[in-house]
Each structure stands twice: as C-alpha cells, then as structure tokens.
C-alpha cells in the first residue's frame, strides 16, 4: 500500500464533497447533480467519474470489482483496480457475488446484484437531451419542466431513418416517473436490470462533472412508442461457445480463418465462474 497519499487517494474533504453530491443524487432519482470533479491520475473520459465515486465510498472492508466492457482484465479495469488497491490496501475480486463495490464501464454484470452491493457506472455523456438541445441551461429547464418530447423525438427520428429504434447502447430511460436519464452506454439488454434493482446504482461523469443515481427498488422504464415497443438485443438460438450459456449478453466473433461466426459471453467473469463450476461444455 502506498502511504504517500491519504486513504483512497483523496483528502477527507474531497471525499465528503463527493459523498454529499451522491446523497443528493440518491434523494432525487435520475437527477444530475453537479459536483466538483477532480483531476485524476488517469485521463478524463477513462472513468474518472466512476473512479471518484468509488474512492469516495470505499472502506477498509470493501471488496472491489472493476469491469471494462464486460472484462475484468482489460487495461482500464486493471489500472483502476491497481490505483484503488494501492492507495487503500483493499482486496479486489473478479467474482461478482464476492464484491461489495462494483465499478463498471458499459455493462451490468450477468449475476443479479444484491442489496449489499453498490454498482458504480462510468458515464461519458450524462445528458440524454444533448443532441436535441445543445445548451445546458435549456436542458436544465427542460428537465425542470419535465418536458421530454425531445427524448422521444430522437427515437422517432431513428424510426423514420432506419425503421426501428437503433440505439445500440445508452437507450434513454424514465426514472421514478420523473427524470429521463442516460443509463450510460450499457446495451439495451442491461436496461431492464436497472428496474427495481436491489443494488444501489450510481452513475458518475467526470468530464461533465455530474453524478446521478438509481436507488434500490426504483422504477426504471425504457422510453418507447405504443407501436414500437422497447426491445432488448436478443440472442435466440445462440449460446456461448465456451460455457454454453444462453440468455446472456453475447459478443459476436468472426473466426478469420474459417469465416465462422461464433458467440461468447461478454461478461468474462460469469463465463469463467461457470466453466469452473460446471466444467467445459
């Protein structure tokens, strides 16, 4: 453990400021709370928002898991884990069920989260209305007045252009019947996991200096139309080539030698756990 820094890198005042913003975010589900985003030893846009939330919340007995696009071993995840364990001395894990704090980029784990866990998501663009209205002061007004025709209009435009809603990720959701929220670029497949989630979900945008939250057991509805209902990605008749899982989010891989398309679990730790307990298919 590196003792040159205070516990969890930040000084106590900084942690308190971030926690205060977090508490406000939890009190107003889906509302973007501005906070004093700090300079971090990793680049902006590499998860500084999530990292600041993680560092402000972490305690000596916490167990941390960091996921980057489903993987526990990619550069981003490894570096964040290193920084946190270096400045706190806590242990990290790959197993979702073991972790008390999970920081994730663009995925919600396949293993259902419990009420003892906190999920921290990294957010690049927290404002769901940004493409519709570039001005921040205007979007604030739109949120205040619950004027969300712009959010539906963006989906309408997709239908006009491509015949269906084409948000591959970051499909806007309505939280607690009040605020429209960008769920961070998780695939549509994961949107339903936010609804009535047992775990607290926190979302942090470091560059945009915003935090927002979905408290446990909160209603989260994906936006859609009467004749174009929301549909998550489906992987019917497909299974993971390694562990044989079905009903999970699968990556499509093309074997360049044989030109064959194969599918594999996106959540690597889920896949590994299954392989370890059940054995190779």
- Exactly one of 16, 20, 82, 141 binds other proteins (CB under 8 A); that residue is 141
Binding piece for other proteins, criterion CB under 8 A, among 172-180, 185-193, 219-227, 231-239: 219-227
Q: Does 221 bind other proteins (CB under 8 A)?
A: no
Least CB distance from residue 154 to other proteins, whole Å? 9
CA atoms within 13 A on the CB side of 239: 8
Residue 64 parent element (H or E): strand 63-68
Q: Which of 47, 59, 265, 279 is catalytic?
A: 265
- Binding to other proteins in span 110-139, by CB under 8 A: 132
For other proteins, the closer of residues 217 and 225 by Cβ is 225
- Exactly one of 147, 241, 242, 244 binds other proteins (CB under 8 A); that residue is 147
DSSP assignment of 99-143 equals -SEEEEES---SSPP-TT-EEEEE-S---TTTTT---HHHHHHHH
Is position 30 annotated as part of the catalytic site? yes
Residues touching other proteins: how many (CB under 8 A)? 18
Long-range contacts of 266-269 (CB under 8 A, 24+ apart): 266/69, 266/70, 266/107, 267/67, 267/70, 267/107, 267/109, 267/110, 268/70, 268/71, 268/72, 268/73, 269/65, 269/67, 269/72, 269/94, 269/95, 269/96, 269/109
Q: Are 216 and 200 in contact (CB under 8 A)?
A: yes
- Exactly one of 39, 226, 237, 259 binds other proteins (CB under 8 A); that residue is 226
Sign of dihedral through CA atoms 181, 248, 243, 112?
positive
Nearest to 72 by CA among 29, 103, 27, 112: 103
Q: Does 95 bind other proteins (CB under 8 A)?
A: no
Is position 265 annotated as part of the catalytic site? yes
Least CB distance from residue 179 to other proteins, whole Å? 15
Binding piece for other proteins, criterion CB under 8 A, among 76-84, 107-115, 153-161, 264-272: 153-161
Is position 243 annotated as part of the catalytic site? yes
Q: Are 161 and 207 in contact (CB under 8 A)?
A: no
Q: Is 214 strand, coil or helix?
A: strand
For other proteins, the closer of residues 17 and 157 by Cβ is 157
Q: Which of 70, 150, 204, 271 is catalytic?
A: 271
- Exactly one of 60, 161, 259, 279 binds other proteins (CB under 8 A); that residue is 161
Is position 206 annotated as part of the catalytic site? no
Q: Which residues contact 6 (CB under 8 A, 6 or more apart)?
A: 12, 87
- Exactly one of 13, 60, 137, 160 binds other proteins (CB under 8 A); that residue is 160
Q: Which of 30, 89, 247, 279 is catalytic?
A: 30
Q: Does 166 bind other proteins (CB under 8 A)?
A: no
- Exactly one of 42, 111, 125, 159 binds other proteins (CB under 8 A); that residue is 159
**How many whole angstroms separate alpha carbon 261 and alpha carbon 259?**
7
Q: Residues in the site for other proteins, rule: CB under 8 A? A: 132, 141, 145-147, 149-150, 152-153, 156-157, 159-161, 225-228
The residues that are catalytic are 30, 240, 243, 265, 271
């Amino acid at each position: 453990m590196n003792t040159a820094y205070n516990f969890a890198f930040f000084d106590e005042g900084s942690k308190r400021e971030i926690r205060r913003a977090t508490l406000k975010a939890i009190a107003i589900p889906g509302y973007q709370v501005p906070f004093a985003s700090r300079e971090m030893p990793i680049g902006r846009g590499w998860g500084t928002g999530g990292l600041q939330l993680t560092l402000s919340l972490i305690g000596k007995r916490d167990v941390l898991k960091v996921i980057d696009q489903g993987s526990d071993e990619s550069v981003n995840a490894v570096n964040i884990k290193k920084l946190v364990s270096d400045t706190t001395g806590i242990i990290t894990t790959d197993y979702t069920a073991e972790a008390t704090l999970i920081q994730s980029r663009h995925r919600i784990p396949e293993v259902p989260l419990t009420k003892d866990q906190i999920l921290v998501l990294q957010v690049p663009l927290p404002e769901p209305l940004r493409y519709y209205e570039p001005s921040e002061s205007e979007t604030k007004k739109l949120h205040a007045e619950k004027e969300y025709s712009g959010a539906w209009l963006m989906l309408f435009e997709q239908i006009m252009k491509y015949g269906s809603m084409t948000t591959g990720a970051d499909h806007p959701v309505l939280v607690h019947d009040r605020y429209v929220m960008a769920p961070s670029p998780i695939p549509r497949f994961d949107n339903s996991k936010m609804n009535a989630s047992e775990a607290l979900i926190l979302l942090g945008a470091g560059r945009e200096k915003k935090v927002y939250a979905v408290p446990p057991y909160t209603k989260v509805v994906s936006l859609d139309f009467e004749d174009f209902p929301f549909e998550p990605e489906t992987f019917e008749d497909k299974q993971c080539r390694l562990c044989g899982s079905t009903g999970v989010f699968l990556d499509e891989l093309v074997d360049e030698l044989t030109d064959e398309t194969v599918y594999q679990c996106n959540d690597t730790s889920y896949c590994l756990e299954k392989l370890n307990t059940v054995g190779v298919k």
